[in-house]
């Protein structure tokens, strides 16, 4: 267990962190624009992963096609959730949409497990020999998945910071009334935001599914680490959320030899509680006062 | 049949205690607590460990209430500093930390294998009914005491302060009252009631494992509270009743539909809980027992 072991853990943690980062990004979008912690984030990922598995079961072996199905399914569900539930709850404060999102998360998961059962599925991948980089064995799939996650993050950042709709989205996040008064089509902003959330969670679900196993609880289990990252990074700072998620992911993996597997899961929750106690604004966020 | 009704009634009372105490947190004080199952778990393990080590039941119940209240103390302090959405996430994380600690500290809790053979009060009365009825009397007494306590709290000057804080915290401060201390105390009292519920649960089930204390239990209780109506004591009882109806009713339905598998029924039961939560938030946010124009 030399340094190569720890570097291996760090690389594993970084890819894990990027996956959490995608979920944190999705949480951050809804937190900033829709103003509530969205508990369906994890289950949107699960639905994406199952859509990918469904394509695989139908005999299509292309990972890209499976990924496309994952993104499509998550986007469709995200849009449906907005149109049928969250749109009606706009302006009802934070708690109503949060409770609804918890109810929807439970509903989505139970419908999924009703039809797909509790069996675990895996994406069939050809076995590849790990490539050696400076004497450290690295799974080439990890590099691929990390790359896909990174591209997805960059794409969302580009939309947020370089496109007109991204600018409008940030305006709505800053001040809804002011944004509406200055002629921004708020309905369109929400629509695009939820589509973006579906896109990000679809990619996240696929990446998570390929790295681990596909089961009904897979997304829900990502929720608290992702909340931790979103809060650690600071609400309203998408880059902060992704960076924080990397920190959470690497810290979780690196702590495994010391803390053991059970406490590894607890680490993210501890980070969350400590950060909120000490610095509620997160590492990169604005200071938000109580009430 | 009597044994079945008694069993359902006992479980109903335990959920009623949880719903009532959550209602004290949220309905009366506005504290958004998504970690209620954490206090429930602490109470259950405290009581189980005390009685497994040969201590009297009274010690176990006292430890359950005291430890749950103690765990709530730092959370109550945090609640003063945090925005409500952050409090929701932190309390959820708290309950998961409790579960992780219970799972990991095997020397104390026996980890995932759980604690078997927890003794039950009145077991000497004989298994065939009397023991169960005596235990039912115990849990009913606990519910009645909790209702009296909450009613007393709400109607006392302290209670008027609680509701004033929920409705307008700044105005309460301007009157020279200290909302901070009140919130922390309410948080601790509610947690203690949930701890008692945990103790009653552990003694009734005889066997507890960490997986009985998933966040899902918290959401069950939230559904019961929202369904009955936040801030309504009778609502808590109705909500807990509907919840038990769903959880138990699906078992009855399964007996009528032998083709449906057990796991599928569990999925349907869960789907119904989720759906009810969404529908009530959308169409009847004040619950069944609270009039529309109130609150």
Beta bridge partners of A137: A132
Nearest to A229 by CA among A254, A249, A205: A249
Is the pLDDT at A287 greater than 70, yes or no?
Answer: no
Q: β-strand A136-138 against A131-133: which pairing, if any?
A: antiparallel
pLDDT surpassing 80 at residue B257: no
Smallest CA-to-CA distance from A235 within A178, A187, A181, A170 is with A170
- Cα separation, B214 vs B107, whole angstroms: 21
Query: For B120-138, how does the pLDDT look when each residue is reduced to its tens digit (9 = 90+)?
Result: 888 777 666 688 899 999 9
> Is residue B37 a contact partner of residue B218, using CB atoms and an 8 Å limit?
yes
Checking if the pLDDT of A224 tops 80, the result is yes
pLDDT digits (tens, 9 = 90+) for A123-165: 988 777 777 777 777 778 888 899 999 999 999 999 999 999 9
> Nearest CA to A96 among B232, B285, B221?
B285
Of B85, B97, B101, the CB nearest to A36: B85
> Rounded distance, CA A199 to CA A205, Å?
10
- Kindly state the average pLDDT of the residues A33-52: 95
Is the predicted pLDDT of residue A285 greater than 70, yes or no? Answer: no
pLDDT confidence band for A291 (50 / 70 / 90): very low
More confident site: B252 or A72: A72
- Do A141 and B261 contact (CB within 8 A), yes or no? no
Strand partners, A131: A138
Q: What's the gap in Å between the CA of B50 and the closest CA on chain A?
A: 25
Inter-residue contact A191 to A218 (CB < 8 Å): no
Distance of alpha carbon A78 from alpha carbon A197, whole angstroms: 7
- Rounded CA-CA distance A71/A149 in Å is 13
Per the listing, tokens 């064995």 go with A137
Tally of residues, chain B: 295
Q: In chain A, where are the structural domains located?
A: 3-219
**B274 in reach of chain A (CB within 8 A):** yes
Q: For chain A, say whether B32 makes contact (Cβ under 8 Å).
A: yes
Confidence of residue A289 (pLDDT cuts 50, 70, 90): very low
- What is the C-alpha separation between A228 and A218, in angstroms, rounded? 17
Query: What's the CA gap between B18 and B36, in Å, rounded?
Result: 8
Q: Do B275 and A103 touch (CB under 8 A)?
A: yes
Helical (H) or strand (E) element with A99: helix A95-116
Residues 6+ apart with CB under 8 A from A145: A15, A18, A19, A207, A210, A211
For position A281, what pLDDT does the model report?
Answer: 66
The structure's pTM equals 0.91
Write down how long chain A is.
291
DSSP string, A229-244: HHHHH-TT-HHHHHHH
Q: What is the average per-residue pLDDT within A16-43?
A: 93
Confidence of residue B294 (pLDDT cuts 50, 70, 90): very low
Q: How far is it, in rounded angstroms, from Cα A147 to Cα B285?
A: 44
Report d(CA A6, CA A15) in Å as an integer: 14
Kindly state the average pLDDT of the residues B240-268.
81
Chain B residues within 8 A of A269 when measuring between CB atoms: 93-94, 96-97, 100
Is residue B109 within 8 A of residue B45, CB to CB? The reply is yes
CB A131 within 8 A of CB A140: yes
The rounded distance, in Å, linking the Cα atoms of A156 and A160 is 6
Looking at per-residue pLDDT, the higher value among B279 and B250 belongs to: B279
Q: How many CB pairs under 8 A join A and B?
A: 128
Which position has the token pair 């601790």? B188
A60 phi and psi, to 5 degrees?
-85, 120
Structure tokens at B102: 């219970």
Dist. CA B286–CA B231, nearest whole Å: 9
Chain B residues with beta carbon closer than 8 angstroms to that of A263:
100, 104
CB contact under 8 A, B273 and A106: yes
Give the model's confidence band at A17: pLDDT under 50 very low, under 70 low, under 90 confident, else very high. very high
Judging contacts by C-beta atoms under 8 Å, the chain A residues touching residue B90 are 272-273, 276
Give the minimum alpha-carbon distance from B136 to chain A in angstroms, rounded to a whole number: 31
Residue environment code for A57-88, b if the CB has 16+ CB neighbours within 10 A, otherwise e: eeeeeebeebbbbbbbbbbebbeebbeebbeb
- Copy the structure tokens of residue A288: 């938000």
- For residue B278, the chain A residue with the least C-alpha distance is A100
On whether any CB of chain A is under 8 Å from the CB of B282, the answer is yes
B277 touches chain A (CB under 8 A): yes
CA gyration radius, chain A: 19
Q: Would you call B267 and A113 a contact, using CB atoms and an 8 Å cutoff?
A: yes
Reported confidence tier of residue A265, pLDDT bands at 50, 70, 90: confident
Q: What is the dihedral of CA A100, A102, A106, A111, to 10 degrees?
A: 40
Give the tens place of pLDDT for each residue, A184-199: 999 999 999 999 999 9
Q: Nearest 5°: phi and psi at A47? A: -60, -40
* CA angle B166–B169–B173, rounded 5-degree value: 140
Instruction: With CB atoms and an 8 Å threshold, state whether B81 touches A266.
Output: no
Per the prediction, chain B carries an average pLDDT of: 89
Measured between alpha carbons, how far is residue A291 from residues A194, B83, B85, B179 in Å?
27, 7, 11, 14
- Of residues B8, B12, B11, B34, the one with CA closest to residue B22: B34
């Amino acid at each position: 267990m030399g340094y190569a072991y720890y570097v291996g853990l760090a690389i594993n943690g970084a890819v894990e962190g990027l996956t959490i980062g995608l979920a944190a990004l999705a949480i951050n979008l809804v937190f900033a624009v829709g103003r509530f912690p969205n508990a369906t984030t994890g289950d949107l990922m699960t639905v994406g992963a199952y859509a990918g598995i469904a394509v695989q079961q139908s005999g299509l072996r292309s990972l890209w096609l499976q990924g496309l199905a994952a993104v499509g399914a998550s986007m469709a569900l995200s849009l449906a959730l907005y149109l049928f539930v969250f749109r009606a709850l706009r302006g009802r404060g934070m708690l109503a949409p949060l409770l609804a999102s918890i109810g929807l998360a439970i509903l989505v998961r139970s419908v999924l497990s009703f039809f797909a059962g509790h069996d675990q599925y895996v994406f069939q991948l050809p076995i590849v020999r790990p490539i050696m980089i400076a004497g450290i064995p690295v799974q080439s799939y990890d590099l691929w998945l990390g790359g896909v996650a990174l591209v997805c993050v960059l794409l969302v950042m580009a939309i947020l910071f370089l496109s007109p709709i991204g600018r409008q989205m940030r305006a709505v996040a800053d001040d809804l009334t002011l944004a509406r008064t200055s002629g921004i089509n708020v309905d369109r902003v929400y629509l695009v935001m939820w589509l973006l959330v579906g896109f990000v969670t679809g990619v996240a679900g696929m990446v998570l599914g390929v790295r681990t196993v596909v089961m009904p609880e897979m997304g829900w289990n990502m929720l608290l680490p992702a909340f931790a990252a979103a809060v650690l990074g600071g609400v309203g700072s998408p880059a902060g959320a992704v960076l924080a998620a990397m920190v959470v992911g690497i810290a979780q993996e690196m702590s495994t030899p010391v803390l053991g597997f059970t406490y590894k899961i607890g680490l993210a929750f501890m980070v969350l509680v400590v950060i909120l106690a000490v610095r509620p604004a997160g590492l990169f966020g604005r200071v938000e006062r109580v009430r | 049949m009597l044994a079945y009704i008694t069993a359902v009634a006992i479980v109903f009372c335990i959920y009623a205690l949880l719903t009532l105490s959550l209602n004290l947190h949220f309905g009366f004080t506005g504290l958004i607590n998504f970690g209620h199952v954490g206090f429930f778990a602490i109470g259950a393990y405290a009581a189980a460990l005390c009685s497994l080590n040969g201590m009297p039941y009274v010690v176990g119940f006292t430890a359950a209430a005291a430890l749950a209240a103690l765990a709530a103390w730092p959370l109550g302090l945090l609640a003063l500093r945090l925005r409500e959405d952050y409090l929701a996430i932190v309390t959820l994380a708290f309950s998961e930390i409790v579960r992780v600690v219970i799972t990991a500290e095997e020397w104390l809790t026996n980890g995932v294998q759980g604690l078997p053979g927890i003794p039950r009060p009145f077991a000497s009365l004989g298994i065939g009914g009397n023991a169960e009825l005596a235990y039912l009397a115990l849990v009913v007494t606990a519910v009645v005491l909790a209702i009296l306590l909450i009613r007393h709290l709400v109607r006392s000057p302290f209670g008027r302060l609680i509701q004033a804080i929920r409705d307008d915290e700044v105005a309460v401060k301007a009157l020279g009252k200290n909302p901070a201390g009140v919130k922390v105390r309410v948080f601790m009292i509610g947690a203690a009631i949930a701890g008692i519920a945990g103790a009653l649960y552990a003694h009734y089930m005889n066997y507890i494992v960490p997986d009985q204390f998933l966040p899902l239990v918290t959401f069950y209780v939230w559904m019961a509270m929202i369904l009955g109506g936040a801030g309504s004591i009778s609502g808590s009882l109705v909500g807990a009743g509907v919840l038990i109806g769903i959880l138990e009713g699906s078992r009855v339905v399964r007996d009528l539909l032998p083709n449906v598998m057990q796991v599928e029924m569990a999925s349907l039961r869960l789907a119904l809980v989720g759906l009810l939560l969404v529908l009530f938030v959308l169409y009847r946010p004040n619950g069944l027992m609270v009039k529309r124009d109130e609150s």
